[in-house]
Amino acid sequence: MEKPEVDLIEGLSPAISIEQKSSSHNPRSTVGTVTEIYDYLRLLYARVGDPRCPDHGVSLTATAVSEMVDRVLALPENTRLLLLAPIIRDRKGEYQQMLSGLRSQGFVRVRIDGTVYELDEAPALDKKKKHSIDVVIDRVVVHSDSAQRLAESFETALALANDIAVIQLVDQQGVGGEELLFSARYACPHCGYSLDELEPRMFSFNNPAGACPTCDGLGARQFFDPDRVVHDSSLSLAAGAIAGWDRRNAFYFNLLNFLAEHYGFDIEKPFDQLPANVRDTILNGSGSERIEFKYLRSHGRRSRRRTHSFEGVLPNMQRRYHESESPTLREDLGRYLTNQPLRILFRQSPSDGGAPRICSGAPDQQHHYPSGRRVIVFFYDRQSVGTPCRNCDTHHQRNQRSAALSLQRWTGIPLSRSGNRKPVRWRGKSVSG
């Protein structure tokens, strides 16, 4: 959207009405994307956002080895501790081979289910119970000259335990106390849930990195609606209860005939009078149950016999809709599609990057972001108070100022899709929105 040619008009009657009119019906085009506000918000969340584990609520902060060492050295002098590498967390098994491998690598002690053992004296584990195993990398008494030793021990622990290290404080009797968890990557030290470093694309429903994997960022799932597919349940299958599967389509009607023969129902009976399990099989398929079908040759004689499961009318339509390159067929099948709004928070598993995904309605309702005015206050508070943010530098501070100015300009214009017209104040003048 172009910027206005003037900043201020005086003497104009407050009867200006601004209405959003979009010539585009693209569902990915919203007020936020058209006005570029969305770009600033994505940048805001990527630069000052605090990623957290959705299960444990802890910040996903990557800690350098030097920072880990500094935190340990900040403990009181002569504090005794164990530096551990957590390699098994609440998993069933005996782990005899793994313990033997640790011994061959030169490690001496392990902590099994909270108790420290010499590797040669480790107990036999019940394979039916869950166990937690930590390798004791080092036993340290905190002194100011322990930095080099701690750094080497941390590097060993991180290499052994997938970038996770644990410090357990112990008393004079060797009894364990408080634990400190460290991670060298953006990951939860408890469950391993991880994120790449936040980027603006992670907060865009128009980018695969941020779009919900179920609805592809559109906020709704398309599916073939049984109420549309069965357009008249008072008719029989033979009479056309399901369009395209009656006598006029020999191939699909032939499938239904053998399906009726297998399950023992009358294909001439009204669809709504068929047993519920039969109607479900017709629409959704027979699952793992195999059925014998006979296929017709072009000249009409039955020839081939094949035994396989019945795909189902709805899965058949879904497959053809996605596989077909024919616009005509897709348009014809599209008449039976229904959009179902999604209101579920999605996130990827740690194995696929774990990018944040939000899905709660259409894109214009998708992110429950704060209002423009609240965001402006947030920007100016950060600049005046000097609140530190992750990865902030002069460039990012300029972005904050640009975002604040842009939002300040747009908060004077009601961009709600509700159609409400409320007076707003712009540069001290009352303007009807």
Q: Is 240 left (phi over 0), alpha (psi -120 to 50) or beta?
A: left
Instruction: Please say if the pLDDT value at position 394 is more than 70.
Output: no
β-partners of residue 424 are 431
Instruction: Go through the domains of the chain in sequence order and give each one's CATH number.
Output: 1-6+13-53+201-219+345-433 (1.20.1580), 65-183 (3.30.190.20), 224-316 (1.10.8.280)
pLDDT tens digits for 169-184? 988 766 677 888 888 8
* CA 152, chain centre distance (Å): 36
> Whole-model pTM?
0.44
Out of 262-276, 294-308, 309-323, which region has the weakest mean confidence (pLDDT)? 294-308
pLDDT tens digits for 344-379? 544 443 334 444 443 434 444 444 444 555 555 555
Q: Which of 104, 175, 108 is nearest to 137 (CA)?
A: 108
With b for 16 or more beta-carbon neighbours within 10 A and e for fewer, the 97-130 pattern comes to eebeebeeeebebbbbeeebeebeebeebeeeee
Which position has the higher pLDDT, 38 or 21? 38
3-state secondary structure 45-70: HHHHCCCECCCCCCECCCCCHHHHHH
Residue 262 CA to residue 256 CA, distance in Å, equals 10
Q: Cβ distance 350 to 187 under 8 Å?
A: yes
Residue 207 CA to residue 217 CA, distance in Å, equals 8
The three-point CA angle 430-431-433 to 5° equals 140
Which residues lie below 8 Å from residue 390, measured CB to CB, with a gap of 6+? 47, 48, 49, 50
Mean pLDDT over each residue of the chain, to the nearest integer: 76
